[in-house]
Structure 1
């Protein structure tokens, strides 16, 4: 395994206090974080962290290793920074859905392309997964709970959703008070996800779900939002998509005591070895904006 990456993972575990927090910060899976920690301990020849159900404790050997791994991480960043200072040029092909292009990518492109005038970006809008090799895509930016297998998936942030309907629809059909009530309404749902269930978290962090039905599904969230504003039903759409309608009173937020399950935004590409500088810089820009 990559020892520089193992050192980076170890640093994040120590700084953030848990393997799960390191996983989220680095955009890699929890099992992969454990594998990198095991690799670090094999490399050091000692137990670096005591793990219990409540907390992590750095061992004396871990404290010594941490000084060295932080130095290694700084050196690695210096080397990467020297390579990254090359002016990105050429064409970067990006695949994403309509919502991602409109609300995540479009806001950063003017400054990004002004900063790197020798770079050209081609955006392929497709609401379904694409073949990165077959379509010659450098990076796909996807909102999903299931990153495409065989790709490097860098987590860039989260997409918050909102449950909403128009005042006219609620006057005619009533306002749902519980998750279970949604089963009796016309629900407008996104066709890009398997199954016809919506998922929420209550104030205690407990997961709730409901099977829904409706007469309209679409792969474009803006269409679902417009249908909801027209009084056709209840929609679960990205909060950024619904924000203008909510501000104008054309949409009403429902079940405010619950949080719709968040989906992650990933930048997915094929190889971790020497990705183009433009790819790294674009994902950095997206991640910074989403923070």
Structure 2
């Protein structure tokens, strides 16, 4: 295959995987117009329609599906060849895309990633902080940092550290409402809720979920911490939200006897993807740093 015949192949594969020209452009780091031009040129060269285009979506034709399967194998082979060359040099370089939850990313992960980037100036880091679980393969991510229990068995996972769930309240709340000493007493308290309507505990060696209710429900841990600090109610949140306030005495830890075993902090990456030096070394660095 001549050099010219490669034009449009990567762009077509990216459109097929992302379902849109915009998504493909974002993945490849080029303009949407350039993606469209390259794919159109490829279709003209092949004298066939690879994509159905409407104002709402883009879908792959039957011929396009067959062509995509062959192209994907070739592109994967090229990527593997590039990774083999990079492996020989053993220096993190090139683009590294990762995703992580918002608050944990802001408070803990981003400073560590920035320190890692300082060590390796040839590395270009793209970090997407979102609480949505992105499709790593379809969206081209090298790594995801995920917290708690893992549910996706199609991914490889490496444990980087642990987090602890604390139930806590401000001293002024406890002076007015008293302190709960058993799980059943939570029904008598204003429990500030996040995205779930239950809290997690361990009682007599078994995991137990307790339904809670209260006057405030919010998907922001920081907002719930603020409400707890103002004496509105009790919260259950991971350590990175409340550590400083617990140490300063602004919040008081409750029901420690029922605290669940520590959750995992995980580095997750696609099962069939070669673990490049930049990802492997970042995982080593995060494991050593978070483990401390």
Distance 1:190 1:282, change over 3 A: farther
- Report what 1:119 is aligned to: 123
Give the structure-2-normalised TM-score. Answer: 0.64
1:199-218, CA deviations, whole angstroms, 9 ceiling, x for partnerless residues? 2235x634444211123333
Match for residue 216 of structure 2?
216
Q: Which residue of structure 1 aligns with residue 205 of structure 2?
A: 205
Structure 1, gaps ≥5 residues long: 1-79
Secondary structure, in 3 states, of the residue corresponding to 1:216?
coil
1:136 deviation in Å?
2.6
Distance 1:92 1:209, change over 3 A: same
After TM superposition, give the deviation of residue 272 of structure 1 in Å.
4.5
Q: Is the 8 Å Cα contact of residues 87 and 276 (structure 2) preserved in structure 1?
A: no
1:151 to 142, 155, 168: 155
| Bigger radius of gyration among the two | 2
The alpha-carbon deviation at position 115 of structure 1 amounts to: 1.3
- Counterpart CA distance in 1 for 2:143 and 2:192 is 30
- Structure 2 gaps of 5+ residues are 1-83
Where does 1:247-262 land on structure 2 (aligned, <5 Å)?
Answer: 247-262=247-262
Once residues 261 and 183 of structure 1 are traced to their aligned partners in structure 2, the CA distance between those partners, rounded to angstroms, is 23
Report the equivalent of 1:230.
230
Task: Give matches, 1:154-173, under 5 Å.
Answer: 154-173=158-177
Q: Cα deviations across residues 98-150 of structure 1 (Å, max 9, x unaligned)?
A: 23213331332243112111002111111121121343322110102133342
Cα–Cα, structure 1 residues 237 and 90, in superposed 2: closer, same or farther, change >3 Å? same
TM-score, normalized by length of structure 1? 0.64
Cα–Cα, structure 1 residues 98 and 146, in superposed 2: closer, same or farther, change >3 Å?
Answer: same
How far apart, in 2, do the equivalents of 1:277 and 1:271 lie?
Answer: 16
Give the superposition deviation at 1:85.
5.3
The answer as to whether partners of 1:164 and 1:252 remain within 8 angstroms in 2 is yes
Match of 1:244 in 2: 244
Matched, 1:102 2:102: no
**Superposed CA offset, 1:241-281 (max 9, x none):** 21111122211111233323422111111134422221111
Answer yes or no: is 1:129 the counterpart of 2:133. yes
Q: Distance in 1 between matches of 2:232 and 2:137?
A: 40
* Residues 63-95 of structure 1: per-residue CA shift (max 9 Å, x gap): xxxxxxxxxxxxxxxxx9x93752111121111
What is the distance in 2 between the residues matched to 1:283 and 1:137?
A: 14
Aligned-partner SS, 1:141? strand
**In the superposition, relative to structure 1, how do residues 262 and 217 fare at CA in structure 2: closer, same or farther (>3 Å)?**
farther
Cα RMSD (Å)? 2.4
